[in-house]
Amino acid sequence: MKFSYNWIREFVEDLDCAPGALEKLVTMKTAECEGIEVAGALLDRACAARVESVEPIPNSHNVKAVVDAGRYGRKTVVCGAPNCRAGLITAYAPIGKKVVNGVESDGMLASGAELGLNRDHAGILELDAQVGAPIGGCVPDSIIEIDNKSITHRPDLWGHLGMAREVAAILGHALKDPVRPDLLPQGAGGIRIQIEDLDLCPRYSALVFENVTVQPSPLWLQYRLTAIGVNPINNIVDMTNHVMAELAQPMHAFDADLLKGGTIFIRPAKAGERFRALNEEEYTLDPSNLVIADAAGAIALGGVIGGLDSAIGDKTTRVVLESANFLGSSIRRTSSAIKLRTDASMRFEKAQDPANTVRGLARAVELLQELSPGIRVAGGVADQKKDIPAPPPIELPLDWLERKLGRAVEPAEVRRILGQLAFGVSEPKRGVFSVTVPSWRATKDISIKDDLVEEVGRMVGYDSITPQAPLVPTAVPPENAERRFQHQARQIFADQGFTEVYNYSFLSEDTARIFGFDPAAHVRVTNPIASDQALLRTSLQPGIWKNITENQKHRDTFRVFEIGLEIHKPEVDLTAEGILDLPDEIVHLVAALYDRDSDGVTGLFEIKRAAECLLPGARVCPAEARSFEHPARAADVQWRGETVGRLFELHPSLVEAGRAAVLDLDLQAVERLAAVETKYTPIRRYPSSAFDLSVIAGLREQVGKLESAIASFAGPLLESIQFVREYSGPPFEAGRKSVTFRLTVGSAERTLSSEEVGTIRGGIIDGMRELGYELRV
């Protein structure tokens, strides 16, 4: 939102604060200023000038003009405007000398756009003025840009008067209200108004004007609008924009002769109702859109945009001027549904003040008298409105205010601040103010005493508050064990050479299919940023796969891992309110080891070793491979009796060159299982005995299973069993291998005798023979 400093100055008495200083004050006390631009910089030097003679310049579109430039004397300028002709009164600006087309040009003849008065750069200005006179009484201005986000809660700050009120309060100056309610005509309304739903349209006010002349606005008005970024159109439309920029009250003018019937209806659109808007777009509406209609159909999309068919044109002589109030949320919904944000809709969204409609009309009457000489009001103000009770006063205890701010403010100062911001203040009880809220702050912004803390706080200045240490009881914060465990896991994997990546939570349907996931089993984004980011990930593996694919362009071998959330669609369909339950979010760790020149074996065992760093004693149990896993290299990871993850090689068809081993752990389960208390067991005092056993087995028999079998036969005196080696080849027949284990046995109470050790060993041999295994002893 752009604010004109000169415009604000009209409302603040004796404004003596320069724009730069004012911008800083407003930023600190009201809303964030994004910068200042100068508008009409040339206007203080430009003046009206008469073109005395014009002669062409050979081989150029430009002409050489001699002008009488008032106090600047006679000047020769090169001008390219098609309307530059002898006798014309135009604008001269002394911008220095330069040689153009071989002619020394001293200054320039200026178009409206060059002076910043309007957007017309088709030709130089054509003025009706004395030579030497200033241009249309316009002077340079400073335009202060306010960040729209910082005034979404302030309907009043969408007009200059609202900002002027802030400035007056900040500086302690008086505020002048430009509205003269006495100008409103009395008597029966000039047109009938029928509002169907007073919640959607709490107030609709209108005036009918006759004997209207539609013509360009005077330069001062064109300049004023252009300076704040509004395009001048004609006197009637420019007037509505002027009132909107001044009072934050959007208005719309209809050509009265193009309306059918004598009533204006404010009603929901009919399903499929079509509407041609001023922007020459045609919209198909539905009942969630509020329309302004005549007997024939929609003439405006309420609070958003007017209709093309009833627009003001050159031939317009009678005007219906609308000044209405609409429910912010309804305007917002319509505006976002048809993807059209206008100056009007932006304001109405912020919950404008219903009391402001007739103020706007009063201001319009005054302006139109100047802009369209001879204009007459036909009838009185047509006005239908909802009965809105005044909000109850807010009780503001001053000691409470002091506790909230952390500093005391003199009661007189509180009263002054609130008073300047147009709050009504009384003190029914000593130390407790009773505060009434002005209508333009009561729509949404201010309803409780906490809101008043801000009003007082910002005006006394937050920099006047001395920082103070909060005195709170000592307390040990409850621990977040899950998060601590995740950090441990992170550190372990980083220490084992894995580099952490963060991948997106989104997944494409195509990728889901590559991994054999059913897209329908995923939580789906209804408004994805791109079609390939429409699903929420149920696995971190596709992301890691992408990391592998991309990084193998630069690296022959690498290790990566990610800790993140799997998001699983809930099983139950809908809650009572018809809303899907929140999905299950499960923390997973996925690690991968890529090696370009490898058969993949080392990588798998290396990643298994890394897993054991986090899960000491984990077991890996070969399992049926899924579509994206190497069919002979996939296994479940078990720890403390539960399956907690998966270890596999990515199917070689998914890896362009080389091999990738992948580990996927359910960290939520792992964290739960990790939570065991450590208890000391005494170190054994008696020596233990060790012996080796070799089992002959089929080539694809799992060492892990043989080990468990042997351990089960060894009995309670087994201290440990360790794999030593496996061997195939002579003297073993093809398809057989020998697997050697070292067993250590012992007792906490005594040294085992050689007979006892022999018995254990014999028991294992017998047990294994029962299972059909031969042992080499």
Partner 1 sequence: MLDGRIQELESSLLARITSARSAEELEAVRVEALGRKEGALTLIGKEMGKLAPEDRKRVGALLNGAKQKIEAALESKGRQMADAGLRVRLDAEWIDLTLPAPGPRRGHLHPMTHIQRELEELFVSMGFTVLDGPEVETEYRNFDALNIPATHPARDAQDTFWLEGGNLLRTHTSPVQVRGMEKLGPPLRMIAPGRVFRNESVDASHEHTFYQIEGMMVDRNISVAHLLYFMRIMLTAIFHRDVNVRLRPGYFPFVEPGFELDLQCLLCGGSGCPVCKQSGWVEQMGCGLVHPNVLRMSGIDPEEWSGFAFGLGITRLAMMRYGIDDIRLLQGGDLRFLEQF
Residue with tokens 């007459």: 376
163-222 binders of partner 1 (CB under 8 A): none
Please identify, using beta-carbon distances, which residue of 55 and 482 lies nearer to partner 1.
482
Integer Cα distance of 638 and 619 in angstroms = 5
Could you give phi then psi for residue 536, rounded to 5 degrees? -95, 140
Please identify, using beta-carbon distances, which residue of 44 and 656 lies nearer to partner 1.
656
Could you give phi then psi for residue 58, rounded to 5 degrees? -55, 140
CB of 587 to partner 1, least distance (A): 9
Q: Is 20 in the site for partner 1 (CB under 8 A)?
A: no
Q: What's the token pair of residue 525?
A: 């984004």
CB of 424 to partner 1, least distance (A): 21
Inter-residue contact 607 to 637 (CB < 8 Å) = no
Please tell me the count of residues contacting partner 1 according to CB under 8 A.
93
CB of 154 to partner 1, least distance (A): 8
Q: Is 722 in the site for partner 1 (CB under 8 A)?
A: no
Please identify, using beta-carbon distances, which residue of 349 and 629 lies nearer to partner 1.
349
Q: Is 498 in the site for partner 1 (CB under 8 A)?
A: yes
Residue from 29, 376, 619, 742 touching partner 1 (CB under 8 A): that is 29
CB of 9 to partner 1, least distance (A): 23
Q: Is 36 in the site for partner 1 (CB under 8 A)?
A: no
Integer Cα distance of 557 and 766 in angstroms = 47
For residues 638-647, b (16+ Cβ closer than 10 Å) or e, as one string? bbbeeebbbb
Q: Is 491 in the site for partner 1 (CB under 8 A)?
A: yes
Integer Cα distance of 402 and 431 in angstroms = 11
Q: Is 574 in the site for partner 1 (CB under 8 A)?
A: yes
Please identify, among the stretches 518-526, 626-634, 635-643, 765-773, the one whose residues bind partner 1 according to the rule CB under 8 A: 518-526
Please identify, using beta-carbon distances, which residue of 204 and 561 lies nearer to partner 1.
561
Please identify, using beta-carbon distances, which residue of 86 and 574 lies nearer to partner 1.
574
581-620 binders of partner 1 (CB under 8 A): 582-583, 585, 606
Residue from 215, 279, 499, 722 touching partner 1 (CB under 8 A): that is 499
The interaxial angle of helices 481-495 and 601-614, nearest 10 deg, is: 140
Amino acid type, 253? A
Inter-residue contact 683 to 742 (CB < 8 Å) = no
CB of 572 to partner 1, least distance (A): 11
Q: Is 526 in the site for partner 1 (CB under 8 A)?
A: yes
CB of 470 to partner 1, least distance (A): 4
Residue from 106, 114, 238, 349 touching partner 1 (CB under 8 A): that is 349
Q: How far is CA 396 from CA 181, 421, 435, in A?
A: 32, 16, 7
CB of 752 to partner 1, least distance (A): 39
Q: Is 404 in the site for partner 1 (CB under 8 A)?
A: yes
CB of 677 to partner 1, least distance (A): 23
Integer Cα distance of 124 and 514 in angstroms = 67
Inter-residue contact 120 to 129 (CB < 8 Å) = no
Residue from 170, 244, 305, 501 touching partner 1 (CB under 8 A): that is 501
Q: Give strand pairing partners of 595.
A: 557, 659
Furthest-apart CA atoms within the chain: distance in Å: 133
Please identify, using beta-carbon distances, which residue of 45 and 672 lies nearer to partner 1.
672
Integer Cα distance of 37 and 15 in angstroms = 19
CB of 21 to partner 1, least distance (A): 13
Please identify, using beta-carbon distances, which residue of 370 and 451 lies nearer to partner 1.
451
- Residue 699: Cβ within 10 Å count: 11
Residue with tokens 């309804």: 330
Q: Is 440 in the site for partner 1 (CB under 8 A)?
A: no
Please identify, among the stretches 170-178, 419-427, 524-532, 700-708, the one whose residues bind partner 1 according to the rule CB under 8 A: 524-532
Can you tell me whether residue 434 is helix, strand or coil? strand
CB of 594 to partner 1, least distance (A): 10
Q: Is 777 in the site for partner 1 (CB under 8 A)?
A: no
Q: What's the token pair of residue 70?
A: 């008032």
Q: Is 425 in the site for partner 1 (CB under 8 A)?
A: no
Please identify, using beta-carbon distances, which residue of 485 and 773 lies nearer to partner 1.
485
Please identify, using beta-carbon distances, which residue of 388 and 703 lies nearer to partner 1.
388
Integer Cα distance of 160 and 363 in angstroms = 14
Please identify, using beta-carbon distances, which residue of 59 and 466 lies nearer to partner 1.
466
CB of 32 to partner 1, least distance (A): 7
Please identify, using beta-carbon distances, which residue of 466 and 681 lies nearer to partner 1.
466
446-475 binders of partner 1 (CB under 8 A): 448, 450-451, 453-454, 457-458, 462-463, 465-470, 472-475
CB of 583 to partner 1, least distance (A): 5
For residues 533-563, b (16+ Cβ closer than 10 Å) or e, as one string? ebbbbbbbbbbbbebbeeebeeeeebbbbbb
CB of 502 to partner 1, least distance (A): 5
CB of 1 to partner 1, least distance (A): 14
For residues 401-420, b (16+ Cβ closer than 10 Å) or e, as one string? beeebeeebeeeebbebbeb
Based on its alpha-carbon atoms, the radius of gyration of the chain, rounded to whole angstroms, reads 42
- Residue 606: Cβ within 10 Å count: 16
Inter-residue contact 659 to 606 (CB < 8 Å) = no
CB of 688 to partner 1, least distance (A): 32
The strands making up 499-500's β-sheet, listed across from edge to edge, are 499-500, 557-568, 584-595, 659-666, 642-650, 629-639, 619-622
Q: Is 152 in the site for partner 1 (CB under 8 A)?
A: yes
Can you tell me whether residue 365 is helix, strand or coil? helix
Q: Is 339 in the site for partner 1 (CB under 8 A)?
A: no
Residue from 13, 427, 482, 599 touching partner 1 (CB under 8 A): that is 482
Q: How far is CA 71 from CA 49, 64, 112, 285, in A?
A: 10, 20, 21, 60
Amino acid type, 304? V
Q: Is 524 in the site for partner 1 (CB under 8 A)?
A: yes
Please identify, using beta-carbon distances, which residue of 60 and 152 lies nearer to partner 1.
152
Please identify, using beta-carbon distances, which residue of 299 and 535 lies nearer to partner 1.
535
Integer Cα distance of 727 and 243 in angstroms = 95
Q: Is 30 in the site for partner 1 (CB under 8 A)?
A: yes
Q: Is 520 in the site for partner 1 (CB under 8 A)?
A: no
Please identify, using beta-carbon distances, which residue of 221 and 344 lies nearer to partner 1.
344
SS (H, E, C) 596-624: CCCCCHHHHHHHHHHHHHHCCCCEEEECC
Please identify, among the stretches 127-135, 208-216, 521-529, 729-737, the one whose residues bind partner 1 according to the rule CB under 8 A: 521-529
Integer Cα distance of 62 and 50 in angstroms = 18
Alpha carbon 460 to chain centroid, angstroms: 31
Integer Cα distance of 595 and 559 in angstroms = 9
The pattern of x and - marking residues 674 through 703 that bind partner 1 according to CB under 8 A reads ------------------------------
Q: Is 580 in the site for partner 1 (CB under 8 A)?
A: yes
Closest CA to 774 of 679, 676, 706: 706
Please identify, using beta-carbon distances, which residue of 194 and 488 lies nearer to partner 1.
488
Q: Is 550 in the site for partner 1 (CB under 8 A)?
A: yes
Q: Is 518 in the site for partner 1 (CB under 8 A)?
A: no
Closest CA to 273 of 259, 287, 261: 287
CB of 519 to partner 1, least distance (A): 12
CB of 332 to partner 1, least distance (A): 6
Strand 203-210 to strand 376-385: parallel, antiparallel, or no bridges (unpaired)? antiparallel
Q: Is 18 in the site for partner 1 (CB under 8 A)?
A: no
Residue with tokens 């005494």: 682
